[in-house]
Structure 1
Amino acid sequence: MADHDLLIEQLSQNARPIRRTWASNRRVAAWLLMALPCGWLSSLVFQRVATDWTQSGALLAALQLIVAFVTGTLAIRNAFLLSIAGRKPLGWRGFIPLIAIWLGSVMLSLGQTHVQDHHPDEVNCYVFMMAVSAPMVAIVIGYLRRTRALYPLRTLATAGAGVACMALTLLSFCHPVEVHPVDFLLHVAAGVTIVIGTMVAGWWWVTIR
C-alpha cells in the first residue's frame, strides 16, 4: 500500500485502548491477597490440627514461616519484574541469606527432634503443598499472561519457587513445630514439583496464547 496515511488511519480504527500494567509492588500485593486465601480454602479439604505454638521449638518454626513468606514474596516480585523489559529483579545472591537462615533453622529443628512416628491426624506434607499450590499457580500464570515474558522458563521457575514458599508458609500453620527428616524431604520434593509444574503449565499460556 503506497498511501501510508490511509494505512495508518485503517489501523487506528481497529486500535483499542491499552490498560496500563500495575506497578510490580502493587501486583505482588494483589497476588498475595488473591492467592493466599485461595490456597487456604484449598487446605480445608484436609483434616488437620493447628500448629501448637506453645511448644519449645515454636520460635524456630515461626522463623521458618517468616523466612518462607519473605522469600516467596521476593520470588513472586522477581517473576513480575522479569516479565517487563528494563526492570531489574533481585539477583540470586540476594536469596542466599534467606535460604541459609531457613536451612539453618530446619537443621536446628532436626537436631532437637527425637525420632518418632507421625501422629495419624497429621496431614501429608507433599499432598498438602500440592493442593494449596494449585490455585496459586493458576493465579500467578494469569498475572504473567497479561504481560507475557521475555524469559519464559526463568520467569515461570521463579514464580513456581515463590508459590512453593507460600505453600510452605500455609503448611506451617498446621504442622508440628518439630521437623522430621522425612518431612524435610517431602517439603523439598513438593517445592521441586511445584516449580516444574508451574513451568509446564505456564509455558503455553505465557509464551503462545
Structure 2
Amino acid sequence: MPSSDNLQIKLSDADLKKINDALDALDAALAPVLITLTGTEIKRLPKASDASLPFIEKALDLAEQQPQFAPGYVDIPGLRLDLAAWQQLQRVARRLEPLASNLASTNIKLGSEAYVTALAFYSSVQQAAKQGISGAQDARDTLKNPLRAKRGQKSRQVGCGACPRPPLPGIVGTATTIPGNDGRGQAPHPTACKPARGAR
C-alpha cells in the first residue's frame, strides 16, 4: 500500500484492463437488480437499518404464522424476498463503500500533489522572471492564463516543503507568496524562494 505522504502510483495498461474488466463484470451482475431513485424519492422513503432488522424479522415471522392479521395489500412472500435481497445487497454495499471511499481519497491526494507541485514551479518561474532570467517571462505568461481560469476559488497555501527544486542563483529561502487558485490572490508561503537583497 503506498504511503499517504507522497503517492507514487503507476498503473500499467494491464492493471487498468484488469480493473475495468472487474468493473464491467460487477456492473453486468448488478444492473439487472438495481434501480435509480431521485433525491426526493430517497428522502421520502422510510429507511431500514441494522437497528430495525430485529423488528422487521419478527414482524415477518409473525405475519407468516398469523397471516389473518396482515393487511390485504401485504405480500408476505414478497416481503420475505425483499428482506433477503436487502441483506444480500447490504453485504455487497459494505464491501464497495471502503473501496469507493479509498478511491476518492487517493484521487484527491494525487490531484493535490500534482497541483501543489505545479504551484511551486510557477512560484519559481515568477521569481526567475523578476530577475530577468531568459525564458522565465514566457513561461510565466503561459502559466498565468490557466490560473486565471480558476478565478472565484479560494487562494490556497502551499508549504515550501512541496518545492522539489533547488533555489535559483541569488535566491534564498525566506517569506514570500505564491498565487492562489484564481491567479490573483496571494497566499503566504513561509519558506518559498525569494530573491536575496541585492541579487541580480
Q: TM-score, normalised by structure 2?
A: 0.28
Q: Which has the higher contact order (CA 8 A, sep 6+)?
A: 1
Q: TM-score, normalised by structure 1?
A: 0.27
Q: Which has the higher strand share?
A: 2
Q: Which has the higher helix share?
A: 1
Return the index of the structure with the highest Cα Rg: 2
